[in-house]
Amino acid sequence: MAYTFNGGIHVDERKNTRGMAAEPFTEPKRVAIPMSQHIGAPCLPLVAVGDQVTVGQCIGDNPNALCCPVHASVSGKVVAMEERRVISGAAVLHAVIENDFQYTLCPDLKGVDKPLEELTAEEIIERVRSAGVVGMGGAAFPTYAKIKSALGKAKHLIINCAECEPYITANHRLMLEQPEAVLKGIKILIHALGVRKAVIAIEDNKEDVIELFENKIDDKALFDIRVMKTKYPQGDERQIIFALYGKEIPTGGLPADVGCVLFNPETAVSIYRALSSGMPVVKKRITVDGDCIKQPRNLIVPVGTSFGDVAEFCGGVRKRFARLISGGPMMGQAQWSLDGVVTKGTGALLFLGEEKEEAGQCIRCGKCVRACQMHLMPALLAAYSEKKDYGECERLGAMSCVECGCCTYVCPGKVQIVQYIRNAKGAINEARRRLKEKGEGK
């Protein structure tokens, strides 16, 4: 029987691109590389306008903070260092590089010359850091910090291959096309963390990958493939751990609190590259789909490529095009312009038409309560948030909401439940911050 969790929803999968092999995208005239593509402090630029850069050259870092370096994804000249507003509203410094189409590799890049067995965890962590590896499932937490914090704590290494968001097939394709790289990356993680084996958690809608992995795995003692029921949000780390081990990450806690650490397969491949060739993360696999893009496909794009360039490469957009989502349709962020760029955390670009749903009223059908895998009562949270009674929202557990969107997806009244809860969470955080400041002031 497949592993699963309580709650969640069966979504319309729309994995239209599952049969489309990833194509390389090499033509951006310019790339704009944000100095902050991860959770943590932004990088300080290491290049200035006019500098020549090569593919893989480190162009930004901040060694004294939780930070992950960024690298040039094309070779060419830095033509601008400019602040741009990103979707969060923050102004982030971007290094704009004009592509010389030479793809000159950075001469400093080289792989490790020792066999894996002789590498220490510290050496691996340093390599992972200098290659700028972040969690590529979307959260973009610096991977070196994750490995470091899991050392000695994590007993279970889980490779999260669920890919439960509709539309997205980027990881699915990666696993089909480069199974060896995925498995080698996992072996490095096993070695670095000092665990006995890795659990590969994969949804049962990817049977071809399961079969392929079973054939490719040479050392059966190291890999344990666990098939999960296809259900959204199976890819949420809390739900994967619950499905596999029946353990709940405590509210506000991390996977390490229950002895687990999770990595995405693309992250594993990036770790493998960082060690084998020294190649940092300069390319990202993304799925381009949605009913308003002419040629949906899977792409491997240089980091910093603009959404507009991607759209052009995919045959352009249809007339009805009105919304661009970076990420999956359930948790992705709507973008306000085509000038935004693909970062290390981008998993998909969805070109969609206008929203058809008109916000209505809660009819108290209870579908959201059944869908919530955090076991909250979304209908009540939304109602109290609408009335700005944030204290009540806090008592009802608003801070446990992971914003997966299940409640809003199933709502027949088309209430923007998640947005109401987000509002409440923002207000609660603000109130807590004020309370803390007050306490410190005394």
Partner 1 sequence: MKLLRVSPSPHMRSAKTTASVMRDVIIALSPALIWAVYVFGFRALTVTLLSVAACVGAEALFCYITKRRQTISDLSAVVTGLILAFNLPVTVPLWLPVIGGAFAIMVVKMLFGGIGKNFLNPALAARVFLFLSFPSFMAGSFAAPDAARGLSPFALSIGLDGVSSPTVLSSIESGVDKRVLVDMFYGNIGGCIGEVSKLCLLLGLLYLLVRRVITWHIPVTYLVSFFLLCFMFPRGDDEALSFALASLLSGGVMLGAVFMATDYATSPLTATGKLIYGVGCGGLTVFFRYFSSYPEGASFAILIMNTFVYYIDRWTQPRRFGGGKHAGK
**Contact positions vs partner 1 (CB under 8 A):** 9, 11-12, 166, 238, 242, 248-253, 322-325, 329-339, 350, 352, 354-355, 357, 360-367, 369-370, 373-377, 379-380, 394-397, 400, 403, 405, 408-414, 416, 418-419, 422
Q: Which is nearer to partner 1, 6 or 120 (CB)?
A: 6
Q: Which strand (E) or helix (H) includes residue 350?
A: strand 348-352
Q: Which is nearer to partner 1, 196 or 364 (CB)?
A: 364
β-bridge mates for residue 260, sequence order: 156
At its nearest, how many Å lie between partner 1 and the CB of residue 369? 5
At its nearest, how many Å lie between partner 1 and the CB of residue 148? 24
Burial tier of 229 (Cβ tally within 10 Å: 0-12, 13-18, 19+): middle
At its nearest, how many Å lie between partner 1 and the CB of residue 60? 26
At its nearest, how many Å lie between partner 1 and the CB of residue 342? 16
Structure tokens at 186: 């996992």
Residue 167 and residue 328 in contact, taking contact as beta carbons nearer than 8 Å: yes
Q: β-strands 23-24, 297-302: how paired?
A: parallel
Residue 60 and residue 86 in contact, taking contact as beta carbons nearer than 8 Å: no
Q: Which is nearer to partner 1, 252 or 441 (CB)?
A: 252
Distance CA 265, CA 158 (A): 10
At its nearest, how many Å lie between partner 1 and the CB of residue 119? 36
Residue 185 and residue 270 in contact, taking contact as beta carbons nearer than 8 Å: yes
Q: Which is nearer to partner 1, 23 or 357 (CB)?
A: 357
User: 402: which residues sit within 8 A by CB, 6+ positions away?
Assistant: 233, 236, 238, 374
Q: Which is nearer to partner 1, 76 or 137 (CB)?
A: 137
At its nearest, how many Å lie between partner 1 and the CB of residue 421? 10
Please, what's the b/e burial string for 286-323 (b: 16 or more CB within 10 A of its CB; e: otherwise)? bbbbbebbeebbbbbbbbbbbbbbbbebbeebeeebee
Q: Which is nearer to partner 1, 75 or 326 (CB)?
A: 326
Q: Which is nearer to partner 1, 203 or 236 (CB)?
A: 236
Phi, psi of 188 (to 5 degrees): -60, -45
At its nearest, how many Å lie between partner 1 and the CB of residue 267? 23
